[in-house]
């Protein structure tokens, strides 16, 4: 018994460190557009719908005709009183999201209890991330023996990509949990055969995954293909029965999927925008490497990732020499399929839809645990000294990415928290802030302005969402800015929308100051030849 507990100590200490890293990053940065969008969906506020169908009774985003306090827009990422129920959350997801509703329904319940603060949102993701740890430990032991568990979980703990998306206020860590859980159950059914409890959990994991992210289907389909090829003690009749049950479980949502995807959305075409310097072959080859890379949106110089790649190439050669064809034993083929099926699936999606999803590595995150398990399998077969040398080098390089994440001032180059605070410091009741962005960007700036005390200084606030095509210049500027001494135009997460209000102000007003803070720019304008914009005329010829 004492030997068993002694063997568990490294895993327990690693789990504690895994949690500390993630919790330490939870409130380090303000929320960026995608995370704010999660809060909007979870609180029952549709953001991306056409302006013509906006329903204020259901909490839909509406651009007000006149300037309002920032609180009028920050409410879209907070619970109403009383809070929205599941039906309104599902409606918001149907109108605005391009993912299924399970994550947002769960987040709705979580935020009702813990609130909608930045840390509360991210702790929900961290919880699911930490729930993956024992599953990966168990999977590593099943496919690579006891020695594979610790290396696989070291990668899960220290990988910069894993750390980043573990603390993202989106559904990625829940997808990991459901994917890894489905794989563990798949191996159990393969090894032990049909058992009601395991079978129902397997069906539940598949259904929940398909209702969490549409691209879950790629990893899940890969596991089904493996199980049909190698059913072990689990009869193919039961496999087909399970597939049918999963299909019936998700049918109430998926039968409306074509209608939901056909809805016009503010950011409808963003995957159709070709990234600068895009090459499809390079993008595809990078997808599996993105699981182990220390580069990402957090920013790490390429030279460090080249060193990192060199270490993994040496490790790969060592693994092949050590394991040879045993790398592709029956159970290990599941890992290879798990690793590659999300990448191939996104490639097929791009070919089908004419999009550039391969340029967005987070769309293949379901395959990340498989990469850690394969590396853990290889390291676990090395002798003690080579094993610890490889692990030390990998962790050392990972700390470069981890350090960068903790030092960064913002997440995804959107310092909404800092800019919101700064706007409150430089404005007064005579000023107007116009935020040119998508609705979640508008709500984010309003959220942090309100948190910094905007309701006390009385500054006016307005949104300008170009995709909604509701604003006109100069007519709407006059409605918003009449009597204001300054206009501060903020641009964040525009998704390609033109800014005619900026052009008009540059031609018709004095530009006092223009600044750029990472992905956010702001410019201060003052009126020409008057104290205020569109000054009110004094009444004349009164009787």
Q: What is the pLDDT of residue 323?
A: 84
Q: What number is the average pLDDT over the span 391-420?
A: 96
**DSSP letter for each residue of 141-206:** HHHH-HHHHHHHHHHHHH-HHHHHHHTSSSSHHHHHHHHHHHHHHHHHHHHH---HHHHHHHHHHH
The string of pLDDT tens digits covering residues 449-489 is: 999 999 889 999 999 999 999 999 999 999 999 999 999 99
488: β partners: 433, 524
**Beta carbons within 10 angstroms of residue 114's beta carbon:** 13
Q: Reply yes or no on whether the pLDDT at 58 is more than 50.
A: yes
Q: What is the pLDDT of residue 538?
A: 47
Residue 8: pLDDT band with limits 50, 70, 90: confident
The string of pLDDT tens digits covering residues 267-310 is: 988 888 899 899 999 999 999 999 999 999 999 999 999 999 99
Q: What is the pLDDT of residue 214?
A: 97
How is residue 309 written in tokens? 């790649």
The string of pLDDT tens digits covering residues 161-207 is: 999 999 999 999 999 999 999 999 999 999 999 999 999 999 999 99
- Which position has the token pair 């095509």? 469
Q: What is the pLDDT of residue 459?
A: 96
Cα(233)–Cα(106) distance, rounded to whole angstroms? 35
Report pTM.
0.95
Q: Reply yes or no on whether the pLDDT at 542 is more than 80.
A: no
Q: Reply yes or no on whether the pLDDT at 3 is more than 70.
A: no
Q: What is the pLDDT of residue 162?
A: 98
Q: What is the pLDDT of residue 147?
A: 92
Q: What is the pLDDT of residue 273?
A: 86
Q: What is the pLDDT of residue 321?
A: 87
Q: Reply yes or no on whether the pLDDT at 541 is more than 80.
A: no
**DSSP letter for each residue of 400-444:** HHHHHHHH-SSSTT--HHHHHHHHHHH--TTEEEEEES-HHHHHH
Q: What is the pLDDT of residue 6?
A: 57
């Amino acid at each position: 018994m004492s030997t068993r507990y002694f063997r568990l100590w490294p895993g327990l200490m690693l789990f504690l460190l895994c949690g500390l890293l993630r919790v330490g990053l939870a409130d380090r940065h303000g929320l960026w557009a995608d995370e704010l969008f999660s809060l909007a969906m979870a609180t029952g506020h549709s953001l991306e719908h056409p302006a013509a169908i906006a329903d204020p009774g259901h909490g839909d985003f509406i651009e007000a005709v006149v300037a309002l306090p920032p609180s009028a827009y920050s409410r879209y990422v907070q619970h109403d009183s009383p809070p929205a129920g599941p039906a309104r959350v599902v409606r918001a997801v149907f109108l605005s999201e391009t993912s299924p509703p399970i994550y947002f329904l769960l987040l709705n319940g979580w935020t009702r209890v813990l609130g909608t603060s930045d840390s509360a949102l991210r702790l929900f993701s961290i919880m699911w991330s930490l729930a993956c740890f024992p599953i990966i430990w168990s999977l590593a032991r099943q496919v690579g023996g006891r020695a594979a568990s610790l290396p696989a979980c070291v990668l899960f703990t220290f990988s910069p990509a894993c750390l980043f998306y573990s603390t993202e206020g989106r559904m990625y860590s829940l997808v990991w949990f459901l994917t890894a859980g489905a794989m563990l159950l798949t191996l159990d059914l393969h090894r032990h055969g049909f058992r009601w409890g395991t079978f129902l959990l397997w069906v539940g994991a598949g259904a929940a995954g398909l209702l969490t992210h549409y691209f879950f289907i790629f990893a899940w389909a890969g596991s089904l293909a493996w199980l049909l090829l190698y059913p072990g003690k689990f009869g193919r009749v039961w496999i087909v029965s399970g597939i049918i049950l999963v299909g019936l479980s998700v049918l109430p949502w998926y039968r409306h999927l074509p209608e939901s995807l056909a809805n016009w959305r503010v950011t409808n075409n963003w995957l159709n925008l070709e990234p600068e310097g895009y090459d499809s072959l390079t993008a595809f080859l990078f997808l599996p490497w993105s699981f182990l890379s220390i580069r990402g949106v957090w920013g790490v110089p390429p030279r460090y990732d080249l060193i990192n790649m060199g270490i993994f190439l040496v490790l790969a050669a060592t693994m092949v020499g050590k394991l040879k064809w045993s790398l592709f034993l029956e159970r290990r083929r599941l890992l290879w399929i798990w690793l590659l099926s999300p990448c191939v699936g996104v490639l097929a999606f791009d070919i089908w839809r004419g999009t550039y999803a391969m340029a967005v590595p987070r769309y293949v995150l379901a395959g990340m645990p498989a990469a850690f398990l394969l590396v853990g399998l290889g390291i676990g077969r090395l002798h003690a000294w080579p094993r610890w040398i490889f692990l030390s080098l990998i962790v050392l390089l990972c700390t470069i990415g981890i350090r960068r994440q903790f030092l960064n001032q913002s997440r995804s180059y959107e310092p909404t928290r800092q800019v919101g605070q700064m706007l409150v410091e430089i404005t007064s009741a005579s000023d107007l802030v116009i935020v040119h962005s998508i609705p979640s960007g508008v709500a984010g700036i309003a959220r942090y302005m309100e948190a910094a005390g905007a309701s006390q200084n009385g500054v006016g606030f307005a949104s300008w969402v170009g995709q909604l095509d509701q604003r006109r210049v100069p007519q709407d500027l006059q409605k918003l800015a009449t009597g204001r001494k300054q206009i501060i135009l903020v641009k964040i997460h525009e998704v390609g929308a033109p800014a005619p209000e900026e052009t008009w102000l540059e031609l018709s007003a004095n530009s006092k100051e223009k600044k750029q803070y990472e992905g956010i720019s702001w410019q201060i304008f003052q009126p020409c030849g008057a104290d205020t914009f569109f000054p009110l005329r004094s009444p004349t010829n009164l009787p």
